[in-house]
Amino acid sequence: MTQSPPPSLIGRVRVARVAQFVFGTRQLAGAVPHFGSLVKTTLSALGVTVYGLIYDIAVNSDDAGTTRLLSVAENVAAEDIAWERDRLIPLDVSVLCVGTRDAAGALRQVLPPQPPIALDHIEVCESAEVQAFHARLDYFRLILGARDVPADELLAASIRNALPENPGEARSFTLRCARELSRLLADDSARLEQILRRLQ
C-alpha cells in the first residue's frame, strides 16, 4: 500500500550528509520557505526527526534552454516571461542540520546520527514547532562553526523568523539571543556587532 505524503510536504531529499542536505522542490509562489526557515524530515528507521535551517535556494536552469534564450533576447514579451515562470522550474534548497527529536520526544540541538535518505519528505515547521525549537539556543554554536554557509546572515534570519508575535515576548527573546551571542562571541566583538545589527 502506498503511503500518502504529509499535507505540509514541500519537497524531497536529493543529496545528504550528516551536517547538511539538499532537497528538490518546485518554484511555486509563496510555497517555498525563505532563507532561515526551519524545516524537518524524519529518519524512519530510527524514528528521529531532523531539523534544519534553509541557507541557500538555487533556481535550476531548464534543460530546453528556454530561460537562457529569454534572458538574452531583445524585446521579450511579458506573456513569454509569465509562461516560462509558470512552468514550475525546479529548485535546489540547501539545509544546515541543527537539531533532532528522538522517538521519545526529546529535542536536542545537535547533528543527527545519520543523514536523511534520498527522497525522504521535507516539511516546513509550523509556528508552534518553531517556538518550541527556539526554547533553547544551543544550535547557535552549530551555525557559527558551519563552513560554506553564510553563517552570520543565517543566524540572524533564524532569530527573526522565530520572533514571537507578542512585542513583549519578542523583545525578551531577542535579548536572550543577544546574551547567548555575547557569550559565544566574547572574543570576536566585530562579528558580534555585525550579527546584532542584522537583528535590528
Residues 6+ positions from 193 with CB-CB distance below 8 Å: none
* Separation between Cα atoms, residue 118 and residue 2, nearest integer Å: 17
pLDDT tens, 166-194? 999 999 999 999 999 999 999 999 999 99
The confidence score (pLDDT) of residue 90 equals 80
- CA-to-CA separations, 42 to 6, 84, 102, in angstroms, rounded: 12, 34, 10
pLDDT band at 87 (very low <50, low <70, confident <90, very high): low
Query: In terms of pTM, does the model score above 0.75?
Result: yes
* Separation between Cα atoms, residue 116 and residue 15, nearest integer Å: 9
pLDDT band at 1 (very low <50, low <70, confident <90, very high): very low
Tell me, yes or no, whether 3 lies in a domain.
no
Tell me, yes or no, whether 30 lies in a domain.
yes
Tell me, yes or no, whether 1 lies in a domain.
no
pLDDT band at 33 (very low <50, low <70, confident <90, very high): confident
Tell me, yes or no, whether 191 lies in a domain.
yes
Tell me, yes or no, whether 134 lies in a domain.
yes
Q: Would you say 91 and 25 are in contact if contact means Cβ atoms under 8 Å apart? A: yes
The answer on pLDDT for 104 being more than 70 is yes
Q: Which residues pair with 93 in a beta bridge?
A: 23, 57
The residue segments making up the domain with residue 61 are 9-198
Tell me, yes or no, whether 74 lies in a domain.
yes
Q: What is the dihedral of CA 139, 141, 143, 147, to 10 degrees?
A: -140
Pairing of strands 107-108, 121-124: unpaired
Residue predicted with more confidence, 2 or 171: 171
**Domain total in the chain:** 1
The confidence score (pLDDT) of residue 52 equals 98
Residue predicted with more confidence, 75 or 96: 96
183 three-class SS: helix
Tell me, yes or no, whether 75 lies in a domain.
yes
Query: Could you say which DSSP state residue 32 is in?
Result: S
Tell me, yes or no, whether 67 lies in a domain.
yes
Q: Which triple of cell numbers denotes residue 34?
A: 525563505
* Separation between Cα atoms, residue 96 and residue 190, nearest integer Å: 24
Find the range with the poorest average confidence among 25-39, 89-103, 131-145, 164-178: 25-39
- Other C-beta atoms within 10 Å of 56: how many? 16
